[in-house]
Structure formats: C-alpha cells, structure tokens
Amino acid sequence: MKLYRTSKDPILESNQRYYRVSSDWDALINRGDLIDYLTSQIAPGNETELDSVLAPIGSQEVWAAGVTYYRSRTARMEESQQAGGGNFYDRVYNAERPELFFKSSAHRVAGPGESVRIRKDSKWNVPEPELTLAINSKGEIIGYTIGNDMSSRDIEGENPLYLPQAKVYDRSCALGPCILIDRELLAGSTEIRIRLERNEEAVFQGSTTLAQLKRSPSELVEFLFRDNSFPQGCFLLTGTGIVPPDDFTLQSGDRIEISIEGIGTLANMVD
Ligand code: DO4
Ligand code: MG
C-alpha cells in the first residue's frame, strides 16, 4: 500500500487503484492501527483519482544520518582533507554512535515536481538520494519514502562545524512521492538510482543497493529516539551511497530524478 498526501484528503494506492482517506495527516500516520485502518478504507465508495501530490509530510521534523555508506565516508574524507577534518569521517563510519543531524522542518521541504534550491553562497552542490524512514511517535517505522539531502560540499568541506549551513536552508530537502506503508525491512537487493539531467541530457547517473548501508534502519531509529521525543513522528534520511565525481556541481535548471524500487520516483528541478 502507498499513501499520498494531496492538496485535499490523503490518498491510498492499493493494486493500482486510489482511495480517499478522510483523516488529518499527522493523526493518520500516528494511528496505532494504521494498516488495519487503511485497509478498511479500500472500498468502492472511496475510489478517487490521484491528483496534486504534495510532500508526504505534515508537521514532522526531518532528520538525517550521515556517513552510513563507504562511498560517503571516502568522499567526505577527500573534501575535508585540506581543512584537517579527514579522519572524523573514518571514525564516525566505524564508531558505535552514528552521525545524526537535524535536516529540515516541514516548511523547507519540496514535494514531487517542486523545485529544490542550491545555496546562493556555495559553489559546489550535489543531491544526495537517500532511503527515508517514516517513523511514528512511538519510534516505530511505519514505511519508507525517498529523500534528497541537498548538500553544499564546499561549505561542509571547509570545516565540519559548518555542517548545518551546508545542509539546512530553504528547500534543501525533498521528500516523496508517497510513503510505502510497510513494517517489514526492504530487501538488501533494493536499488536506489539517481539520474541528473541538464538540457534534457543525462549528466550523471548512479546506483547503489541497500546492502551497502552499514547500519540497520532500526539501529538509526534507536539512536534518534534515545533522548528525543517526536509527538507527531518524524522522517529519517538514512545517508547517501551515491556521490557524483568531484568536478560535478548542480546548476539552476538541472532535473534530479531519484528512484527506489517499490516506492517510485521523486523528480525535482533545481531553482
Ligand atoms: O557528514 C556529512 C554528511 C553526510 C551525509 O549527509 C551522508 O552521508 O549522506
Ligand atoms: Mg546525506
């Protein structure tokens, strides 16, 4: 089952049919009986069309994990070498405690088809395609969506203490197109793919699988909820395993397409 947030009611997709779900978004994703309730909405009288899809977020916070793939560890070590930050990334990759950082409040998040932004004061910017966990207020993973952790690599590489500025700015995060409602872990063979287009031509394509993710989703959630409450639930991006070559930077007008098997495709233009 897939759950979409739209400009009207939430919409459930089941067997390629769409059903209206009359509920407030925050209340819905925190229901203890979510799967049973959604199943009860699959009725001919509720059938509808899918229209005006928004980011699948109400008032949740968005957090992110970093350096959870070997590719990310290596890219970060290279970008921060001159600043003397290099071995922090190796250490966090191997440490028991993961890197977790606040990524976005809901108002900074772009939905499917909306534009993401690159920072005005940055010259080296990349998208980060990440499996994203949808978590309820009890700390239970209720499903999965696609996240784009837009990042300014020059700011992050200049000094690791600049991380919040490299990561958090208006429309620096995209989520969508839906939440795949599933309490089971996605298979290690699940592919994450990205395609970057400029003037309708591919300028970068990459892929990875969840088997490359060093930490389990439940381990990341356990650390996030250790001493934090999330009354409306939250989203947690699980880190990137795909980093474009160092001579690549996003430009205004580029198109970013991120696909995860079983969830769908999140497409955004760059403002
Ligand atoms: O520590 C820097 C951020 C890492 C990150 O966002 C990632 O690995 O996805
Ligand atoms: Mg990231």
Atom of ligand 1 nearest to the CA of 128: 9
Local confidence band at 183 (pLDDT 50, 70, 90 cut-offs): confident
Ligand 1 in reach of 149 Cβ (< 6 A): yes
Secondary-structure breakdown of the chain: helix, strand, coil percentages, each rounded to the nearest 5: 25, 35, 40
Cα–Cα–Cα angle for 127, 133, 134, nearest 5°?
Answer: 120
Q: How confident is the prediction for the chain on average, in pLDDT?
A: 97
pLDDT class of 266 with cuts at 50, 70, 90: very high
Per-residue pLDDT, 85: 72
pLDDT band with cut points at 50, 70 and 90 for residue 180: very high
For residue range 221-244, list pLDDT tens digits in order: 999 999 999 999 999 999 999 999
Q: Which pLDDT belongs to residue 82? A: 87
In this structure, what DSSP letter does residue 106 have? G
Q: Which of 62, 63, 67 to mutate to test the pocket of ligand 1 (most atoms within 8 A of CB)?
A: 67
Q: What distance in angstroms lies between residue 237's CA and the mean position of ligand 1's atoms?
A: 10
Phi-psi category of 149—alpha, beta or left, where left has phi over 0 and alpha has psi -120 to 50? Answer: beta
79 lines ligand 1 (CB under 6 A): no
DSSP string, 169-194: STT-EEEEEEEEE-SSPPPTT-EEEE
**Nearest alpha-carbon partner for 50 in 112, 129, 141, 106:** 112
Beta strand spans in 80-128 (E): 99-104, 109-110, 115-116, 125-126
Instruction: Quote the percentage of the chain above a pLDDT of 90.
Output: 96
Place of tokens 């001579």: 247
Does the pLDDT of residue 193 top 80, yes or no? yes
**Best mutation site among 93, 125, 131, 151 for ligand 1 pocket (most ligand atoms within 8 Å of CB):** 151
Ligand nearest 148 Cα, by number? 2
Q: Which two tokens stand for residue 150?
A: 């837009």
**Residue 93 — pLDDT band, cuts 50, 70, 90?**
very high
Q: Are strands 125-126 and 151-152 parallel, antiparallel or unpaired?
A: antiparallel
pTM of the full predicted structure?
0.98
Spacing, Cα 21 to ligand 1 middle (Å): 36
